[in-house]
Amino acid sequence: MSDRTELRRKPDRTVADRDAIHAVLDEGLVAHVGLIAGNGDTAHPVVIPMLYARDGNVMYLHGSPASRLLRTAKKGAEVCVTVTLLDALVLARSGLNHSMNYRSVIVMGTATEITDREKKVAALNRFVDHTIPGRSAQIRAAHVAEVKATTVLVLPLNECSMKARTTGVVDEPDDLDEPTWAGLIPLGLAIGEPQPDEGSAGDTVPGHVAFWSRGPGQLNGRPADPERTG
């Protein structure tokens, strides 16, 4: 943790545990990637949603070589990558004590392009397996031209921090007799029935699709740790 990622407000919400940081990045699907576009007087922040992958102590971003964000980032521009999981709405007895329970990780630093073909292929497989564990073993290898036509950036997880709110309602003592329902509405990721593409091979939905899950199973009605069948 650096000075820049040390969270100034609500320090009680800061989590320093690296395993907890990795767990948030592993559960998340979309990162919000910020960078500075323009120069001097035209400088302005841009925040773009992107798929990402964690691999040990780094994270990957990828996209078209024509992407303005990737072109800017690979020149060594500072980026800020934020992944947020929303766990509950917090309904207090006063408006201003309403809040949300969440876990959020912020990664700052500069990204580097991966040019080594083997490392690039490994990173691209991590993207697929980050989002859908076990998927990369079920699909064909990437063609040489596909790998060439993709930019992959790597960002170290050195300068990162986590903030979380995980408690119940916090109300003013004077408000505890208010005739208002107070409590939490737990939130998670709802998962629909897989929808096969026309002509998709076979009638059976493979295990890595049928049992795909994320976060607490009791919220989305899925077992937390299903026995995989493929």
The torsion angles phi and psi of 104, rounded to 5 degrees, stand at -140, 135
User: Is 162 a binder of a second copy (CB under 8 A)?
Assistant: no
DSSP, collapsed to helix, strand or coil, labels residue 35 as: strand
| Shortest distance (Å) from residue 158 CB to a second copy | 14
Q: Determine, following the binding rule CB under 8 A, whether residue 1 of this chain makes contact with a second copy.
A: no
Site residues for a second copy, 48-77, by CB under 8 A, read 48-49, 51, 63-64, 66-68
> Going by DSSP bridges, is the β-strand pair 44-51/30-37 parallel, antiparallel, or unpaired?
antiparallel
Q: Does 136 bind a second copy (CB under 8 A)?
A: yes
Regarding 21 and contact with a second copy (CB under 8 A), the answer is no
Per CB under 8 A, which of residues 93..132 are in contact with a second copy?
93-96, 98-100, 102, 104, 106, 108, 124-125, 127-128, 131-132
Q: Which stretch binds a second copy (CB under 8 A): 12-20, 32-40, 53-61, 111-119?
A: 32-40
Q: Which residues contact 156 (CB under 8 A, 6 or more apart)?
A: 57, 58, 109
Number of residues that bind a second copy (CB under 8 A): 100
Select 154 or 219, whichever has its Cβ closest to a second copy. 219
Using CB under 8 A, which residues numbered 169 to 208 contact a second copy? 169, 171, 175-176, 178-202, 204-206
Q: How far is the CB of 200 from a second copy (least distance, A)?
A: 5
20 lies in the binding site for a second copy (CB under 8 A): no
Under the criterion CB under 8 A, does residue 134 sit at the interface with a second copy?
Answer: no
Q: Taking CB under 8 A as the rule, does residue 41 contact a second copy? A: no
**Are residues 219 and 191 in contact, defined by beta-carbon separation less than 8 angstroms?**
no
CB contact set of 121 (below 8 Å; sequence gap of 6+): 141, 142, 147
Residue of 1, 20, 23, 37 interacting with a second copy (CB under 8 A)? 37
Cα atoms found within 13 Å of the Cα of residue 11, Cβ hemisphere only: 2
Instruction: Report d(CA 30, CA 49) in Å as an integer.
Output: 6
CB 111 within 8 A of CB 74: yes
Task: List Cα–Cα distances, 77 to 25, 33, 144, 184, in angstroms.
Answer: 22, 12, 28, 40
